[in-house]
Structure 1
């Protein structure tokens, strides 16, 4: 991994922007394709969504690219420190990022629901009462940048392992897609397995889109249970 990071340091800015934009576009298309397949609509990617949805989705991808480049620049300048060792830190860092980002996003999500920020920032996302995979990317531009800022803030304050970061980012994309399927692909009995019932399943986030005063968490229901904003049905 270190040779790859060293290569990034030598690349011109235009090439980095191209790589980061391509990465975010592939993530977006992967989410939409996989999400549509889970919904039983494979091959309908270009026809399911409106021109407006595609426009907002692509803008979100562009802003995610800005966040990616900002993270790269902070790392290049030494403000963000990333390790590349193959150690137990891979797991602990991934778990830390998972729980810390879940808490930070819960707090931010709760605040924008309870203040004037809802109509300004978040109402756009809640136009979807029955969310679809593309709704993961239907966000106000400022909201997109705020979520990115939360992520970069963690990296600024804590030294993280690159492999732990990659695991967390993959988990983040997976939970984002699952939360916007508009259906629950997991059998009910699986959702009740020990540990599973504390995860932010598709049903958990779908409920939030229908009942906006409940279920503010992203990856887990831990903070909703702790702060009494949780509802299973």
Structure 2
């Protein structure tokens, strides 16, 4: 696949990466819609502004994907392709590193003038629906994407661990923007679920912006005392 990509022009690469991002978005929204359907919750339609912003986010994410490929092609990002147990270790390392990095980034946004200028746009939707995962200010989308690329340059992660992480990233994002909690409380009390960022955990952040800044886990919120059940 990588050899095939190396034969393509920049325009062809851009179109392939755009199609990839749009496909991921469509599958993610279908997954969110299915959960809401199974939960018998009335499904609120997306506004025109949400749809347009979602498309813009996809365009920006395409640029980030292109930048990531460029960095990989020029050896700024190193990936391994062996299939072994290191895949799990690399995934866990990437999962926790990105969770900490995004917690810090998210916390700093909320405690600076950036919130009023940029992040408040996302918090306009206190009762989110799945598409709101992709409803971000363009500057914020670029910020998260840049953070992702920086993490990748720090260590030679396994390629398959990266794929698993990206899948988990979309899963947690959709779960956090359902507007309902599909996981029973009895399960959320068990290990490892009690440490994960559930739908109600992130929904609480949309309702009370001073708490629950984590994305995948609630670990950092508990450590830095910004956790609220």
2:47 to 47, 50, 67: 50
| TM-score, normalising length: structure 2 | 0.96
1:198 paired to 2:195: yes
**5+ residue gaps, structure 2:** none
Aligned to 2:36: 39
1:155 paired to 2:152: yes
1:17 Cα offset (Å): 0.8
Aligned to 2:57: 60
Aligned to 2:119: 122
1:14 paired to 2:11: yes
1:100 paired to 2:97: yes
Q: How does 1:171-210 map to 2 (within 5 A)?
A: 171-210=168-207
Cα distance in structure 2, aligned partners of 1:135 and 1:81: 32
Aligned to 1:223: 220
Q: Deviations over 1:143-178 (max 9, x none)?
A: 000000010001111111100100000000000000
Cα distance in structure 1, aligned partners of 2:7 and 2:91: 28
Aligned to 2:76: 79
Cα distance in structure 1, aligned partners of 2:112 and 2:106: 10
Cα distance in structure 2, aligned partners of 1:75 and 1:89: 20
Cα distance in structure 1, aligned partners of 2:194 and 2:83: 31
The 4+ residue runs of structure 1 with deviation greater than 4 A are none
Cα distance in structure 2, aligned partners of 1:53 and 1:139: 9
Aligned to 1:214: 211
- Report the RMSD for the aligned CA atoms in angstroms: 1.5
2:136 to 135, 139, 152: 139
Query: Which secondary structure does the structure 1 equivalent of 2:55 belong to?
Result: helix
Query: Which secondary structure does the structure 1 equivalent of 2:37 belong to?
Result: coil
Aligned residues: 226
Q: Deviations over 1:24-57 (max 9, x none)?
A: 1011111211111211189xxxx81111111000
Cα distance in structure 2, aligned partners of 1:227 and 1:10: 48
Q: Deviations over 1:71-109 (max 9, x none)?
A: 000011111111111122211111111000000000000
Q: Deviations over 1:182-227 (max 9, x none)?
A: 0011111111112211100000000000010000000000000000
Query: Which secondary structure does the structure 2 equivalent of 1:183 belong to?
Result: coil
**5+ residue gaps, structure 1:** none
Cα distance in structure 2, aligned partners of 1:37 and 1:176: 15
Cα distance in structure 1, aligned partners of 2:206 and 2:145: 22
| TM-score, normalising length: structure 1 | 0.94
